Amino acid sequence: MMLKNKLIFNKYKIKSLNQITNFCWTFQGVNIKDNEPVFIKIGKKDLLFNFLESEAYCLINLKGFGIPKIISYGRNGIYNILIEELLGTSLYELWELRNKEENITYYIKLKNVCMVALQILDRLEY
């Protein structure tokens, strides 16, 4: 799927592919009107269960610190598209970075795991 620089909903431009899963493609993008970074998820409509619609519903109801805001959700042809606030580096990107940097010390790896664990606990408590 070649979508770099493709315009979504006439407002969001895809910048780079983040990840491909069985359910959707994830991209980093930008709002062309205010240059704000966004996170874009695109999934096929013909799946048995609409994961993106369910995710949008959950995120709308979970509003709060560390929960990305839903900017837009809709359908375009055979795809469901979810546009979210970009909060920062994803766990997937951290994992890829870890795999590339062989000489990171054990302490730094342990520190990152502990920081992520604390953030997950904060979100669960919320």
Q: What is the pLDDT of residues 21-52, one digit of tens each?
A: 878 899 999 999 999 999 999 988 777 678 88
pTM of the model: 0.77
Report how far residue 53's alpha carbon sits from residue 80's, in angstroms, rounded to the nearest whole number. Answer: 8
Q: What is the pLDDT of residues 84-111, one digit of tens each?
A: 999 877 777 766 776 666 555 554 677 7
Report how far residue 62's alpha carbon sits from residue 69's, in angstroms, rounded to the nearest whole number. Answer: 9
